[in-house]
Structure 1
Amino acid sequence: MARLLHVIGVQSRPVPGDPAATLEKLERVVQALGVSFPEAQLYLFPELWLTGDHPFRHTTPSHELAQPIPGPLTRRLGAIARRAGRWLCAGSIYERAGDKLHNTALVFSPSGKLVARYRKLYPWMPFETCAPGDEPAPVFDIPRVGRLGLMICYDGWYPEVARGLALRGAEVILHPTLTTTPDREEELVLARARAIENQCYVVNVNASVEIGGGRSIAVDPEGRVLFLGGPGEEYLGEVLDLDRVQTVRAHGTRGLNRVLRQFTEDSPEAVFAPYRARSPRRRTRS
């Protein structure tokens, strides 16, 4: 039996400056998707969508939007996922953790359980003031379908994040994003690169204009574009065949390049030497 995952990328605009109204909009969208796409299994929202925050025009200071995890917001999102009976990647929120503020992505199961929480490893410096996470990007399993990984926006510029997910078995990388700037063009290239080099699906969903620049993208394990959104609000659906990931990894991209297999089985030790030599925090303290 084929391992199929029907994903809907929600390229949408939050309610600017109003997190409560944005949460209500998310609930309405989830209800609408259940009617319009009754066989869809997972909904993916953009980065920081639930905050209602504008990346360049902060109507509310970001620290005032921070939420504890778990807390009232995660309980509400879990209830929404449970009522819908769907997997819900609600993008990311500002998380308050002691005296730190993190950009944290959340994934809920159809039972409403919080199954993945990820603090962004690479905040968009120097513009994003959140603290980086201190744990690897997570993977989680959808029973009888496969393993998914999670990263956030600027993480996609660092191949180590996606490679780490692939090495832990991720067959699909969910990649919520918030980009309004001209470098969205480069991000589309990078989404394809991360898919090609890790031989997995990448689903990168951006907010729509004006909060984000749209142009959400999904890419297959050989780098083919499955969907590419425009600038406005869209529900972008695709059925991903996860067996295809294993075929490409075993037989190679276009039947030629067994990239991930060679990396895991035959990488020369010299490849990792620059990483072992790099210890910037140690050098800073000295």
Structure 2
Amino acid sequence: MIERTTAMCRWLAYSGSPVLLSDLLFAPENSLVVQSMHSRLGVEAVNGDGFGVGWYGAQEEPGIYHSTEPAWSDRNLRELSSHASAGRVFAHIRATTGTPVQQSNCHPFRHGRWLWMHNGAIAEFASVKRDLTLEVEPALFPLIEGSTDSELFFFLALTYGLEQDPPAAVARAVGFIEETGRRHGIQFPIQMTVATTDGEVTWAFRYSSEGRSRSLFHNVDVSALRMQHPDNPTLQQLSDDARLVVSEPLGSLQGAWREVPESTCLVIEGGREQLHPFSPSSAPSSAGSAAAAQ
């Protein structure tokens, strides 16, 4: 029997009017910091192998803060988040699949204006790592800093054109990962919920080779929630275009969350969201493959 590695990270992606990071990370009933100690929907209850936050502010590139400490015990995170605000935020708490606990292995990963974070795993990563790595565009390869399957997944997507067409690039990356895994006798090569953004649009994906993907939710329209819950002060502070995509709901407010369907790409631009079917596609021969063949 082939052993498959499982990972259970948790993440959130926010866009809308600027909010304090602490309002996202600490304030909610089931905040990401709470989930780092006790995840309600995760395979593992504790996600204490580091964390990261990415946000868009005054600079062209997003800022990132990574720490190898558990989110619940990092004093710098509490200090930073109580002063910094942003209108687009990615945050991630990590449960490692076996790669080291180090800052370069913490999500979100950054390339130019792009951020990327992943919950799940590439199965039997050690067996397929060489084949996957050789597919990365040679010009991108030196920019890989860590040793995780998630970062390599990001660079495969960049190789396949993430900056031009994110859904197509992710579909090609997943297709190549599945093709490679099955060539190595792996029945279910990938498990994933992924979020990526260029600072203007957020794309979120829910997919797994076995069709039993990790949990993923998005909030319903804020104006509708205000009508439903007129006495909720948090809702009164959010802009109508505020959108959250989360591994698990941040609270128990009735009617606030919808589950993202299996095999789906969720696109959020401004206050609009669209759901599209997602499936892997065949990857074209990349510059990485051509270089490896020479």
Q: TM-score, normalised by structure 1?
A: 0.39
Q: TM-score, normalised by structure 2?
A: 0.38
Bigger fraction of residues in helix: 1
